[in-house]
Structure 1
Amino acid sequence: MNYSPKISIITPTWNRCHLIGRVYNCLQEQTYKNFEWIVGDDGSDDETEIMVQKIASSSPFPIYYLRSSLHIGKPKIDNSALSICTGEFILWCDSDDILLPNALENLVSEWSNLPPESMNSFIGVAALYKTKSSVLNKQITKGINFQCKLIDLEFKHLIEEDMLLFFKSTYLKSNRFPEEDLIVPESSLWSKFYNQNILVITDVLGIKEYNSVDSVSFHNKIKYARGHAFCLSITTPFHSKYLTFLQILGRTIKFIRYSFHGDLTNKQASTMWGSVCPRFYYILCHVPAFLLVMYDVLRKKVERTHLEYLKNSINTYISYEKYMPSIDPNSDINQLK
């Protein structure tokens, strides 16, 4: 049977068997049914595989279970998931996230309301998340949707917290996240689309849970330094025209600090940073950067996560299983009305 899902939902996970069932339940409850689910297992040693197999045996939608033999990191898992997505649109639902029942329906509906002649200039739709305590980016006026360049979300509308991003797959599948560490911030890829338009809707369509056990959002250690260094080197040239000179110096200091912890050579770091900062000031920034490095080392705050990535990337292999439903998710009864 030939399936043509409109949406691919990616869930990267690592040792979160206890949360996979919750993600599946929120997908089951979606009022829009034409989607596939890609679970990217980053070398879990819990019962994630058993849980996915159990879920897949009765799932009403297609499931791809992608598994790495070793812990290889989110960028590699996300890139591997992107390579097998078949949907027209892609969104991420992390293992500690929940999509509200009307999330997919609202996203597809808002996209469909765009004038056909302007759709080619849009990368997708952005919506709001909430946590248990508050709505993220609540400075956005409720009920007033707007359009802007992707880069304007941060520098014009002052968006600093996560948003639910619903992107056209053609943009994502032709690009990749940098594979340099277990975590590389997603803006390293989004920066390639900064000049594309995005439709921002003020509906809350998902729930974020930042305080989950082993959440990468909260830790007291300096982790993923190499990944952060690469992200800074990629995004700062796009941001520079919005930044003051002091802000550029601050980023330069942070970049040097992360580069050291990420075991990048001086030559590598200098080449990556390029002309973001004048050479004299780049050299001058090494003084406060190395004071911070010494502070980090003395306080034993650094975890060189990139070493695990580099070691495992040599020996890992990634396989996947495809589980198809017994009911065609493309049937008329399941389509958005």
Structure 2
Amino acid sequence: MAPTKTHPDFSIFIPTYNRAHTLARTLKSIQDSTYNNLEVIIIDDGSQDNTIDLVKTWQVTAPFPITYAWQENQGKHAAHNHALKLARGKLFITLDSDDSLLPDALKQLWKYWENIPQESREKFAGVAGICLDEEGRLSGDPYPKDFMDSNYLDIFRHYRMNGERREALRVEVLRKYPYPRFPGERHMRPTLILRRMAHEYMIRFTNTPVQINRHAPDGISANRFNYRFRNPQGFTLYYQEEITLHREHHLPKQLFRLHIQYLRFALHARIPIDEQKCHCWKRHWWYMALPKATSLYILDILKAKIRGIRR
């Protein structure tokens, strides 16, 4: 193993849960990186397979330092908070345990970061790139330019791009925005903290391909409804902030649809009616959005019952 660097440029966070069968491929992709000033932080979210044995082998043979920590199953957002406490790097990037880092990704991201004028860097949370699917195709839409300086709210308001992205963000900034946690819930929308920090920090968005993303049958992408149904407080908070903290970034029609989603999950989370009304932009919007929100809430209950999903 290479000597541990006190302050590596990148901390690569790998959250994992029963992924010993894919984790070696993920670590191998880091080993093949053309940029080696990095550390790896693996947070094991309660695995019951041989993940720890695999990691121990890699800790001996890998050309980069690997920090491993096990925790009771609490969800990726809790693992993210845990990893940030251990990170020693400048930029923090998430690499899921069934995905692969592209060889030149870190080199390109660091180049874009270094090209931000020194006097302007305090205004930036970091840099971002795009993702590819398993066939090597772009996962969604590219940015209109090779790189753009904006924030997470403005850029998607103006350009409405679809697809997966990956950010490399300053550790010191991320520590200011830990994921909130609710007892019994194991999921939080990843973009919640990105949208919060958009009020204070910019990101340099680039068309640099960063990762190959894969979607396991038991992963979040394939089981969106389950995660939404089982984590109502987290989704309520997400939509509450959309209609309050980020209200000015939405057009009226979109803002009204977000009110519907907020009320839908507020019903699941059993938020008192008076509290719901206080969060609405205009009080009468609560009355206007409630019928649709109630119908979605009832459909959720029926769908969960049919599928045998319990909280």
TM-score (norm 1): 0.82
Structure 2 residue 156 is matched with structure 1 residue 150: no
Name 1:47's counterpart in structure 2: 50
Aligned counterpart for 1:71 among listed residues 73, 92, 115: 73
Which position in structure 2 is the counterpart of 1:245? 252
Q: Which residue of 2 aligns with 1:173?
A: 175
Equivalent residue in structure 1 for 2:196, among 189, 192, 195:
192
Shift of 1:43: 0.7
Decide whether aligned partners of structure 1 residues 159 and 51 sit closer, same or farther in structure 2, where only a CA change above 3 A counts.
Answer: same
Provide the C-alpha distance between the structure 2 equivalents of 1:220 and 1:138, rounded to a whole number of angstroms.
Answer: 21
Question: 2: distance between equivalents of 1:201 and 1:231?
Answer: 26
1:30 equivalent in structure 2? 33
Give the match for residue 4 of structure 1. 7
| 1:236–1:284 CA distance, 2 compared to 1 (3 A) | closer
Residue number in structure 2 paired with 1:277? 281
Give the alignment partner of residue 163 of structure 2, picking from 161, 176, 194.
Answer: 161
Mapped partners of 1:161, 1:237: distance in 2: 25
Would you say 1:113 and 2:115 are equivalent positions?
A: yes
Partner of 1:335: none
Quickly say closer, same or farther: Cα 1:119–1:48, change in 2 above 3 A. Answer: same
Alignment equivalent of 1:209, drawn from 211, 214, 217: 214
Matched with 1:317 is: none
Are residues 36 and 147 of structure 1, via their aligned partners in 2, closer, same or farther at CA, if it must alter by over 3 Å?
Answer: same
User: With CA pairs under 8 Å and 6+ residues apart, which has the higher RCO, 1 or 2?
Assistant: 1
Residue 15 in structure 1 maps to residue 18 in structure 2: yes
In 1, distance between residues paired with 2:224 and 2:121? Answer: 43
Q: 1:256 to 1:140 in 2, by over 3 A?
A: same
Gaps of 5+ in 1: 306-337
2: distance between equivalents of 1:141 and 1:293? 38
Shift of 1:273: 7.0
> 2:128 is matched with which residue?
126
What is the CA-CA distance between 1:41 and the residue it aligns to? 0.8
CA offsets 1:160-210 (integer angstroms, 9 cap, x no match): 322110111111012201112211001211122113221122121211113
Quote the Cα distance in structure 1 between the aligned partners of 2:239 and 2:213. Answer: 25
The answer to whether the 8 A contact 1:32-1:105 is kept is yes
| Amino acid in the other structure paired with 1:25 | K
2:281 alignment partner, SS class: coil
When normalised by structure 2's length, the TM-score is: 0.88
Once residues 247 and 138 of structure 1 are traced to their aligned partners in structure 2, the CA distance between those partners, rounded to angstroms, is 21
Query: Which structure carries more helix by proportion?
Result: 2
Change (3 A) 1:128 1:139: closer
C-alpha distance in structure 1 between counterparts of 2:310 and 2:255, whole Å: 25
Cα distance, 1:258 vs structure 2: 1.7
Residues 101 and 2 of structure 1, relative CA distance in 2, 3 Å threshold:
closer
Do the aligned partners of residues 72 and 30 (structure 1) sit closer, same or farther apart at CA in structure 2, a change above 3 Å counting?
A: same
Taking the aligned partners of 1:54 and 1:139, their CA distance within structure 2 comes to: 38
2:238 corresponding residue in structure 1:
231
Q: Which residue of the partner structure matches residue 57 of structure 1?
A: 60
2: CA distance, partners of 1:158 / 1:97: 25
Aligned 8 A contact 1:15 1:44 in 2: yes
Q: Give 5+ residue unaligned stretches, structure 2.
A: none
Label 1:272 to 1:207 Cα distance change in 2 as closer, same or farther (>3 A): farther
What SS is found at the alignment partner of 1:174? coil
Superposition deviation, residue 12 in structure 1: 0.8
Instruction: Tell me the equivalent position of 1:286.
Output: 290
1:204 and 1:78, CA in 2 relative to 1: closer, same or farther beyond 3 A? Answer: same
| AA partner of residue 229 (structure 1) | T
Greater CA deviation, 101-110 or 191-200? 191-200
Among the aligned pairs, what percent are the same residue? 24
- Between the aligned partners of 2:85 and 2:122, the Cα distance in structure 1 is 22
- Number of residues of Structure 1 aligned to a counterpart in Structure 2: 299
Instruction: Determine the C-alpha separation between the residues in 2 that align with 1:220 and 1:101.
Output: 30
**Coordinate RMSD, CA, aligned:** 2.2
CA distance in 1, matches of 2:31, 2:243: 40
Matching residue's letter, 2:107: E
Asked if the contact 2:232/2:266 (under 8 Å) is kept, the reply is: yes
Give the distance between the partners of 1:5 and 1:264, measured in 2 at CA. Answer: 45
**Other-structure match for 2:299:** 295
The residue type equivalent to 1:197 in the other structure is: M
Provide the rounded CA distance (Å) in 2 between the counterparts of 1:172 and 1:250.
29
Superposed CA offset, 1:117-176 (max 9, x none): 11111111111111134312434247x322222322211122332211011111101220
